[in-house]
C-alpha cells in the first residue's frame, strides 16, 4: 500500500502546484515569440525595413523557442518513462530510458553554449543532473514507500531549483531569479504529482498532469528564448 506523505511534504507539493498556476502569466501567449511569429508576414508587408528586421528577429526567436520546447518535452517524456519502468520494476526499460534522459539533459545544456560558452554548458548540465537526481530519488522513495526519503528528495528539488535560478539569472538579466525559481519549483511539483499518480495507477489524473507538464515546460522554453533574444539582439537580428 502507498503511504501518505507527511504534512510538511504535502505542504511543499501544494506550494509547487500553486506556483504552477501563479507563474502561468510570466510568458503570456500573446507576448511570446510563437504568437508574434504568426503575424510576421502581415507586419512585413505593411511596414518598412524596421518591421522587416523585427519580423526576422521574431522568426529566429520563434525557431529557438520551438527547439527548446522540443528539448524540454523530451525531458519530461524520458523522465516519465523512467518512472513507469521503475514502478513496473522493468530494469532494462529503466536503463534505456535513463540513458536517454541523460542525453536529453546534455542537449539542453548544450543549447546555451553558443551564447555563454562551454564552461556554462558544463555547469548547466551539472545542475540539470542534480534536478534529475532529485526526481529519481523521489521516485525510488515513492516506490519503496519511504516517506522520510521522499521528504529529503523534495528538499533537494527545492535547493536545486534555487541553484538553477541563480545560475540562469546571473547569466541573463532577462531571466529574473524569482520568476525562474518559481517556474522550476512548479516543474518539480509536476514531477512529484506524476510519480504519485503513476505509482497509484491513477492514470486519468496522470493524463491531466501530463498536459499541464507540457504547457509548463513550453513556458520555460518560451521564456528562455525570449530572454536570449533580448540579451543577444544581434544574434537574433
For residue 186, what are the contacts with CB-CB under 8 A and spacing of at least 6? 16, 17, 19, 20, 22, 23, 216
Whole-angstrom distance, CA of residue 4 vs CA of residue 151: 11
The pLDDT > 70 percentage for the chain reads 76
Q: Does residue 13 register a pLDDT over 50? A: no
In a domain, 73, yes or no: yes
pLDDT at 20: 39
Report whether pLDDT(175) > 80.
yes
Mean pLDDT of 183-211: 98
Instruction: Dump pLDDT digits (tens) for 96-154.
Output: 999 999 999 999 999 999 999 999 999 999 999 999 999 999 999 999 999 999 999 99
The tally of domains found in the chain comes to 1
Does residue 236 lie in a domain region? no
2 falls within a domain: no
What's residue 29's pLDDT?
36
Assess if residue 45 is contained within a domain.
yes
Residue 1 lies in a domain: no
209, part of any domain: yes
Give the mean pLDDT of 220-234. 97
Instruction: Tell me which residue range forms the domain holding 91.
Output: 7-231
pLDDT of residue 237: 86
Note whether residue 44 is domain-resident.
yes
Residue-averaged pLDDT of the chain: 86
**Which position has the higher pLDDT, 41 or 72?**
72
Question: Which positions ≥6 away from 11 have C-beta within 8 Å?
Answer: none
**In a domain? residue 21:** yes
Amino acid at each position: 500500500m502507498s503511504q501518505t506523505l507527511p504534512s510538511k511534504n504535502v505542504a511543499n507539493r501544494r506550494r509547487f502546484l500553486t506556483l504552477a498556476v501563479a507563474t502561468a502569466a510570466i510568458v503570456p501567449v500573446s507576448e511570446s515569440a510563437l504568437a508574434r511569429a504568426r503575424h510576421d508576414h502581415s507586419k512585413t508587408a505593411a511596414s518598412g525595413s524596421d518591421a522587416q528586421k523585427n519580423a526576422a528577429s521574431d522568426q529566429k526567436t520563434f525557431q529557438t523557442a520551438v527547439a527548446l520546447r522540443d528539448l524540454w518535452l523530451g525531458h519530461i517524456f524520458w523522465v516519465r518513462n523512467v518512472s513507469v519502468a521503475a514502478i513496473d520494476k522493468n530494469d532494462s526499460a529503466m536503463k534505456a530510458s535513463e540513458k536517454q534522459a541523460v542525453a536529453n539533459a546534455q542537449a539542453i545544456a548544450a543549447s546555451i553554449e553558443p551564447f555563454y560558452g562551454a564552461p556554462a554548458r558544463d555547469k548547466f548540465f551539472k545542475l540539470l543532473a542534480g534536478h534529475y537526481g532529485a526526481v529519481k530519488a523521489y521516485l525510488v522513495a515513492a516506490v519503496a514507500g519511504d516517506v522520510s526519503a521522499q521528504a529529503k528528495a523534495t528538499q533537494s528539488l527545492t535547493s536545486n531549483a534555487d541553484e538553477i535560478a541563480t545560475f540562469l539569472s546571473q547569466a541573463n538579466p532577462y531571466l529574473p531569479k524569482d520568476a525562474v525559481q518559481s517556474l522550476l519549483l512548479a516543474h518539480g511539483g509536476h514531477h512529484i504529482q506524476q510519480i504519485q499518480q503513476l505509482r497509484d495507477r491513477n492514470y486519468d489524473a496522470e493524463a491531466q498532469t501530463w498536459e499541464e507538464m507540457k504547457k509548463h515546460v513550453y513556458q520555460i522554453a518560451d521564456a528562455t528564448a525570449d530572454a536570449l533574444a533580448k540579451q543577444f539582439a544581434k544574434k537574433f537580428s
